[in-house]
Chain A
Amino acid sequence: MTCQEAVNKLYEYIDSELDRATTEKIKKHLDLCRLCCDQFEFEKTMKELVHKCCDAAKAPDVLKEKILKSLNP
């Protein structure tokens, strides 16, 4: 696998969209290629950061109450 081939599948790889054989090929490439490995690590971190900061809010209690109330009028 070339760097270009690996990078083309970067997002599918970090999103776990690839079949096992392709995933293994990319893993092998990443073991050997420092530059690609860095780039994949970067994108993975970016994804994790987005997850973290969009998962931090708590729904206001009053919203929960309103919803429960509307189900039990």
Chain B
Amino acid sequence: MPENRREQEKKREFEELFVPLLDNLYNIALRMTRNPKDAEDLVQEAYLKAFRFFHRFERGTNARAWILTILTNTFRTKYRKKKQEPDIVDFQAIENFCLADEMVKIIRASDKSEARGAGEVIRLLKDYVSDDILEALEAVPEQFRLAVLLSDVEDFSYQEIAEILDVSVGTVKSRIFRGRKILQKQLWDFAKERGIVRDTKK
């Protein structure tokens, strides 16, 4: 039957476009919900919605951006209230924070030689393990975290992120800036808490 065949064709096309994106969406959902169970539910719901609204997808446009928009909107309406979000951040305190500068200070304070430089700072940065970075990301409030993830993990342009989050490019820019600063400040706080580094300001 033609109707049946059209339905089959639609499913095949949908699967071809979106099933290969599953790992990618799951990773982002994990970082959004911060919990595997919710991430699974979120991804499943996004796929169902995407399939239901597949007729609205314009062929030839970016499928990843399209389904990520659905995922983001689903997350925002359904899951954002569930888990306590981190406290509102004091932006003035973080605006000028620079993790690299803090690291340079430590290296200078501890190293007798004059060897400072990027190599050493980047080595310190790479001492952080994935879990540190993931934990620090969790402390970044949602709106900033999303913008950073869409840029750093998904490699979307500011314009694409603006469309996904339905905000202006200027807002995207400022959210990415602040999100990265908060992330770095958090990483720095971890390092101090764990005694990995000495606080040179004391």
Contact residues of A with B, CB < 8 Å? 11-12, 15-17, 34, 37-39, 41-43, 45-47, 49-60, 63-64, 66-68, 70-72
B132 CB, min distance to chain A CBs, angstroms: 9
A35 nearest CB across to chain B (Å):
9
Give the CA-CA distance A57 to B177 in the complex, in Å: 26
Contact of A54 (CB < 8 Å), options: B19, B100, B118, B153: B153
Contact status B152-A72, CB under 8 Å: no
What are the residues of chain A within 8 A of B97 when measuring CB–CB? none
A47 to B180, CA, bound (A): 9
**Are the CB atoms of A15 and B151 closer together than 8 Å?**
yes
**Which chain A residues border B15 with CB–CB below 8 Å?**
68, 71
In whole angstroms, how far apart are the Cα atoms of A45 and B125 in the complex? Answer: 8
Flag if B180 contacts A46 (CB, 8 Å): yes
A38, B100: Cβ atoms under 8 Å? yes
Name B's A-contacting residues (CB within 8 A). 11, 14-15, 19, 22-28, 30-31, 36, 40, 43-44, 47-48, 51, 98-100, 117-118, 121-122, 125-126, 128, 130, 133-134, 137, 148-149, 151-153, 155, 157-158, 173, 176-177, 180, 183-184
Task: Judge whether A56 and B130 touch: CB under 8 Å.
Answer: yes
CA distance A37 to B118 in the complex (A): 8
Q: Flag if A56 contacts B27 (CB, 8 Å).
A: yes
| A49 engages B47 (CB within 8 Å) | no
Q: Does B125 lie within 8 Å of A63, measured CB to CB?
A: no
- Give every chain A residue within 8 A of B28 (Cβ-Cβ): 54
Write the nearest CB–CB distance from B140 to chain A, whole angstroms.
Answer: 10
Assembled-state Cα–Cα distance A71/B22 (Å): 14
- In whole angstroms, how far apart are the Cα atoms of A67 and B47 in the complex? 7
Which residue on chain A has the smallest CB distance to residue B131? A53
Most buried by A among B98, B100, B128, B184: B100
With A12-B173, A71-B14 as known contacts, state yes or no: A54 contacts B126, CB within 8 Å. Answer: no
| Contact A53 B133, beta carbon cutoff 8 Å | yes
Determine whether the beta carbon of B152 is less than 8 Å from that of A54.
yes
A9 vs B120: C-alpha distance in the bound complex, in angstroms?
Answer: 24
Cα-based distance from A60 to B44 in the complex (angstroms): 12
Residues A59 and B23 in contact, CB atoms below 8 Å apart: yes
Whether the Cβ atoms of B125 and A49 lie closer than 8 Å is yes
